[in-house]
Amino acid sequence: MEQLNDVELLTALTTAHKRLNKEIGRVIVGQQEIINQIVISLLSRGHCLLIGVPGLAKTLMIKTLAQALDLQFRRIQFTPDLMPSDITGTEVIEEDKLTGARAFRFFKGPIFGNIILADEINRTPPKTQSALLEAMQEHRVTAAGETHQLEEPFFVLATQNPIEQEGTYPLPEAQLDRFMFSLKVDYPTFQEELEIVKSTTVDADSTPEIVIHRAEILQFQHLVRRVPVAPNVIEYAVKLVTATRPTNSSAPDFIHKWVEWGAGPRASQYLILGAKANAVLEGRPTPSIQDVIKMAKPVLRHRIIPNFNAEAEGINTDHIIQKLLETIG
């Protein structure tokens, strides 16, 4: 892409987003909200945690997105016996055929891609989980004392199955906090399932065309960072996050009643970044409070820890966030 000013970049992104939705829609039926939130996370340089039962096309959705964005897709199936080197890569002794000299050579693991699908991340021990999470945070990998930089853009989508919990290793809160969004992938509607069955039981090629190239994505990521935000929008985001903390004396009564731990400062940062990305995707030069509200559930869902009282009353984090939005608004 030639050097464009911010207004031209905004127009280019809005147009590209419409084309992207059209291309993905040729392969994926429904799930439009999930796809939009994944794109927002990518533009914000965040990572996503997808929670949903098997068979909801999570893998196909991510693979299709990677194809349409001209990005390298890698899938890692997490299992109890997966080792950190299976993700990051390993060193092998190689012998030079001419001189006979031996030297170590590093073979890159599947983490060296642009879009990484970490399938069932809670099925592998914490030691292996931490290898992925270091890469998420630092965008680099350390193996055998050597540091290897990962190619940009680097985007991780991890999946968890909410049904089977036997033999799993739940992600600690500190590691969950590194994911920008926690997204719930629901069952399709009756009409959507009809379309799915019709489109997947025939002999038809549904490979999407490339809509946005890698260099353009990097430009769009920088554009999101440059978007100006009004002080009242930032104040609202921080007010919303601080209200989730029961240690805050000004938090609503139901927070003290239902919440064990609230969200940290990273939640405020991601609310603003998500609001910026959502605004530019809709062709607006600056986000509003409504954009922050739209980001509230995916950003806060995995950062608020309900206490025993909430669980006893059947109150989940989505209920708490909804009540908080009604109270703060």
- Taking the C-alpha atoms of residue 141 and residue 112, their distance in angstroms, rounded to an integer, is 9
Claim to verify: residue 190 and residue 289 sit in the same structural domain: no
Q: By C-alpha distance, which of 105, 171, 161, 173 is closest to 132?
A: 171
Q: Is residue 263 one of the residues assigned to a domain?
A: yes
Claim to verify: residue 70 and residue 173 sit in the same structural domain: yes
> Does the pLDDT at position 283 exceed 90?
no
Claim to verify: residue 174 and residue 310 sit in the same structural domain: no
Q: Is residue 93 one of the residues assigned to a domain?
A: no
Q: By C-alpha distance, which of 315, 294, 301 is closest to 51?
A: 301
Q: What is the CATH number of the domain that holds 308?
A: 1.10.8.80
> What single-letter DSSP state applies at residue 124?
S
- Taking the C-alpha atoms of residue 207 and residue 15, their distance in angstroms, rounded to an integer, is 20
> Does the pLDDT at position 250 exceed 70?
yes
Condensed to tens digits (0 to 9), the pLDDT of residues 135-149 reads 888 888 887 777 888
Q: By C-alpha distance, which of 146, 127, 114, 50 is closest to 82?
A: 127
Which of 217, 251, 279 marks a domain boundary? 217
- In the structure encoding, which two tokens stand for residue 196, read together? 């799915």
pLDDT of 311 reads: 87
Condensed to tens digits (0 to 9), the pLDDT of residues 101-124 reads 787 778 888 888 899 998 888 888
> Does the pLDDT at position 1 exceed 80?
no
Claim to verify: residue 169 and residue 301 sit in the same structural domain: no
Claim to verify: residue 122 and residue 265 sit in the same structural domain: no
Claim to verify: residue 51 and residue 122 sit in the same structural domain: yes
Q: What is the pTM of this model?
A: 0.88
Tokens 């400062």 belong to residue: 265
- Taking the C-alpha atoms of residue 122 and residue 172, their distance in angstroms, rounded to an integer, is 10
Claim to verify: residue 256 and residue 307 sit in the same structural domain: yes
Query: Which residue segment(s) compose the domain that 127 sits in?
Result: 6-81+111-200+210-217
> Does the pLDDT at position 167 exceed 70?
no
